[in-house]
Amino acid sequence: MGEESKRKPNRKSDRVMVFVDYENIRLSLAEYFVERVTPAELVGAFKSVAEERGVHRGSVFFGDWGRRPADAREIEENGAIARLAISKRSGKDRSDTAMMLDLYDAIKEKENITAFVVGAGDADYKEVIRRGRDNEKRMYVCAVTQATSRELLSLCDGFVAIESVLGLTPKAEPPTLPGIELGLPTEVWHPFVLALDSLEGTLPYVVRNYLRDSILDSGMGCGDTKEEKDTFLDRALEEGITLEDEIPNPKLPGRTVQKVWLNRSNDIVKRILGGRQIEEAS
């Protein structure tokens, strides 16, 4: 964890803004904790984190609200701003890009703001945190402990575990498979990785929409709705479980489809496929 900034004394007169990558926090909470956290509860939790460090000057949540309009409405009704970050055509979330740009603009332009709370744990945010500190802003990270990069912890002025603020209950550790130790992230991906591996053995390539609509089911931990399954595939791409690319659509000349395949150099993928081979050999 980063030490409190030594450039200025930490004082209650700090003016604090909050920037939250909603998908990053939402997915991490759902993965690691039992309770379902509402958007209103998240707004309140981040506001309390800001108020413990100074005077709260506003919160901005970034997400593709076309997918979750009810969440955006609840966020706005509870005093925060829900800023739109439209996903890529592949469905991949782009909240991080939009948030980093707006956060950097605020660092440079809002001279009256002396501290920022960054609601995200991805290492992608390390550069904007570094730039905030270079501009003599105090930079805090508030995210899920298990999903927060150590690089952020070493750069920020202080870390707050959002699960502690919310008082959440951790999910039980998953059982291990014979012949291989599995942590929670590996166990989460196990059914999906095996299913995609099987498809790759029978098809010339796997189309994302076909995978989502015809293969994924709730037993893989991806949810039931198309929206939930898209989010699941987005997370697989973000965590390096899969790779994606646009290729020509053989049925519609001039159009493209999104191809998906396993990233077989990914440690989690290697552990899952290696565990299957051990089971088959036993």
Single out the residue in 111, 135, 166 at which a domain terminates.
166
d(CA 243, CA 137): 37
Selection from 121, 267, 122 nearest residue 182 by Cα: 267
Single out the residue in 166, 198, 225 at which a domain terminates.
166
- What's the whole-model pTM score? 0.59
- Whether residue 120 contacts residue 20, with contact meaning beta carbons closer than 8 Å, is answered with yes
- Asked whether residue 24 falls in the same domain as residue 118, the answer is yes
- Asked whether residue 119 falls in the same domain as residue 43, the answer is yes
CATH number, domain with residue 97: 3.40.50.1010
- Asked whether residue 159 falls in the same domain as residue 233, the answer is no
Is the alpha carbon torsion for 83, 87, 91, 95 positive or negative?
Answer: negative
Structure tokens at 264: 């077989």
- Asked whether residue 22 falls in the same domain as residue 160, the answer is yes
- Asked whether residue 146 falls in the same domain as residue 220, the answer is no
User: Is residue 259 one of the residues assigned to a domain?
Assistant: yes
3-state DSSP call for residue 251? coil
CA angle, corner 46, sides to 41 and 50, nearest 5? 145
- Asked whether residue 157 falls in the same domain as residue 225, the answer is no
H/E stretch holding 82: strand 81-84
- Asked whether residue 32 falls in the same domain as residue 149, the answer is yes
**Would you state the pLDDT for residue 31?**
87
d(CA 209, CA 218): 16
What are all long-range contacts of 94-98, with beta carbons under 8 Å and residues at least 24 apart? 94/64, 95/21, 95/22, 95/23, 95/24, 95/62, 95/63, 95/64, 96/21, 96/24, 96/120, 96/122, 96/124, 96/125, 98/62
d(CA 85, CA 248): 27
**In this predicted model, which residue has the larger pLDDT, 162 or 276?**
162
What is the count of structural domains for the chain? 2
- The β-bridge partners of 20 are 61, 119
DSSP structural state of residue 204: S
Per-residue pLDDT band for 48 (boundaries 50, 70, 90) equals very high
- Please name the residue that has the structure tokens 């402990």: 145
- Asked whether residue 160 falls in the same domain as residue 222, the answer is no
Per-residue pLDDT band for 169 (boundaries 50, 70, 90) equals very high
Domain enclosing residue 96, as ranges: 15-166
Question: pLDDT (tens digit, 9 = 90+) per residue, 51-89?
Answer: 999 999 999 999 989 888 999 999 999 999 999 987 765
- Asked whether residue 144 falls in the same domain as residue 198, the answer is no
User: Is residue 178 one of the residues assigned to a domain?
Assistant: no
d(CA 119, CA 67): 20
H/E stretch holding 247: strand 242-248
Mean pLDDT of the chain: 84
**Would you state the pLDDT for residue 235?**
82
Per-residue pLDDT band for 176 (boundaries 50, 70, 90) equals very low
Structure tokens at 8: 């200025």
Selection from 103, 179, 174 nearest residue 139 by Cα: 103
d(CA 87, CA 97): 11
3-state DSSP call for residue 161? strand
